[in-house]
Amino acid sequence: MRIGGRTAMAVLSVLTSLLAALSADAATRPRMLVVLPYATVDLASDELWIGEGISQSLALAFDQMPAVVQVDRDRVNRLPRPDRWDDPTALSAARVSGADIAVYGEVRRVGPDLSIHPRLVEIKGERGERRTLDAVAVPDGALLERLAGLPAAYGRALKLIVSEGDSARAQKWASPTTSRRAFEAFVRGQQAAQRGGQEANETAVELLGKAIEVDPQFAVAQYTLGTVHQSLGNLWKAHGQFRVATQLDAAYPEPYKAIGDLFFTAPRRQLDQAIEAYSKALAIRPFYADAHIGLGDARAAKGEVDGAVSAYQKALTYNPLNAKVHMSLGKLYYSEKGLFYESVEAYKKAIDLDGNLVDARMGLAEVYEDKGLYQEAIGEYRKVVEQDRKHTGALYNLALVYEKVDTKEAIALWERYIDLAGPLQSEKDWVDVAKLHLRKLRSQPDKSN
């Protein structure tokens, strides 16, 4: 069939518009990035913190760039830890964490000065494209000054679309204090907090307190100290630190989001105050995915289902690798909207992103069970038990499902649940119910196929 000139021009115009739209979408879609500690070469033992310090600086800076989304720190901490991050291990870390880009490098001692050698690897299909940026000379006393320019160098190498405002914020947060002593104490405090546990967190409190003593205007250290107090259960101290951080820098969104979390998780939830705090964080940084998640959680708790779904979907626009958001959507889709297929897909996506997220498997299994898909439900509950042999909820639900298909196996599971949960005071009522089920099953014919 021949196409006339005018028709051909119209078709060409439509195709051009579509291609332009696709190109614009590709250009604005954020890329996933993982920041890895710099290797330290020939540095004295009291300078080894600098490798982690460079990564902390870059992480703070990249938070200000909507063109990239950083892989969650907990996910990074679960990666296998080599003696030093180099080209092969960085490429592996990018693939395992689902990142498009890994940022890493090394820092060397060159006489009285330091030399920073930035590197990156970018995943392109089945291959990884490695690049080495220009070395950065760091004269004695100029570390924080040189760190301020490092994010821009990476931005140019990656051809990131960054506004002047975002670039200025990235430069500011790459050097969050003017004191090297304060920055060192901050980095060491972060390292301690990442180890986790009571003793490590108490060490982190001491080191972060030292950073604040050296530089009382160090807003990031004030906020970080609050997060450690929160981990230790010192919620009033945490709230106080977050408030101080907002007073020191009203354009710093992390403490507002943290305050929202405190309101949301309080014994008597203060949902309106939580929503207000999350909204303040988002007014400062509209692409702050974690604040959108908090807002979604608070709206869901208030029964504002559409508002919650909207907030979760915005969070995934800025961070599509957040497994917990997919899990939250899976729950809302089924329990509030009755959307079976959408719920299943959301739960499966969460599991694909984080196979250790047993709550997502539990949610998926419960949806299957409710729909009468007992074999599928059994498969998911069994996977939870394989991951956590002491997961009483999965054992209880598994026994309930087996009552419908295999009496003998149900009896065995109830016995196993009672043995496991019997000593737990929190499970007392459920154990009593389990014993009633067990007594009833033993008096019935076997339903095994």
The confidence score (pLDDT) of residue 7 equals 42
The confidence score (pLDDT) of residue 84 equals 87
As a whole number of angstroms, the distance between CA 132 and CA 104 comes to 10
The confidence score (pLDDT) of residue 242 equals 98
The confidence score (pLDDT) of residue 448 equals 54
Give DSSP secondary structure letters for 209-220.
HHHHHH-TT-HH
Domain-wise residue ranges, the chain: 30-175
The confidence score (pLDDT) of residue 449 equals 53
Radius of gyration of the chain (CA): 26
Tell which CATH architecture fits domain 30-175.
3-Layer(aba) Sandwich (3.40)
Tell me, letter by letter, the H, E, C secondary structure of 332-379: HHHHCCCCHHHHHHHHHHHHHHCCCCHHHHHHHHHHHHHCCCHHHHHH
As a whole number of angstroms, the distance between CA 392 and CA 399 comes to 11
pLDDT tens column, 5-26: 444 444 334 333 333 433 334 4
Give the bridge partners for 32, in sequence order.
Answer: 69
The confidence score (pLDDT) of residue 11 equals 35
The confidence score (pLDDT) of residue 64 equals 93
CB count in 10 Å sphere of residue 70: 23
Q: Write out the two tokens for 281.
A: 């964080």
Specify the amino acid at residue 81. Answer: R
Weakly modelled stretches of the chain, pLDDT under 70: 1-29, 445-449
Return phi, psi of residue 78, to 5°: -85, -5
pLDDT tens column, 162-182: 889 989 999 999 999 999 999
As a whole number of angstroms, the distance between CA 305 and CA 339 comes to 13
The confidence score (pLDDT) of residue 72 equals 80
pTM: 0.82
Question: 19, exposed or middle or buried, with CB in 10 Å at 0-12, 13-18, 19+?
Answer: exposed
The confidence score (pLDDT) of residue 28 equals 54
- Classify strands 136-138 and 127-132 as parallel, antiparallel or unpaired: unpaired
The confidence score (pLDDT) of residue 220 equals 97
The confidence score (pLDDT) of residue 355 equals 87
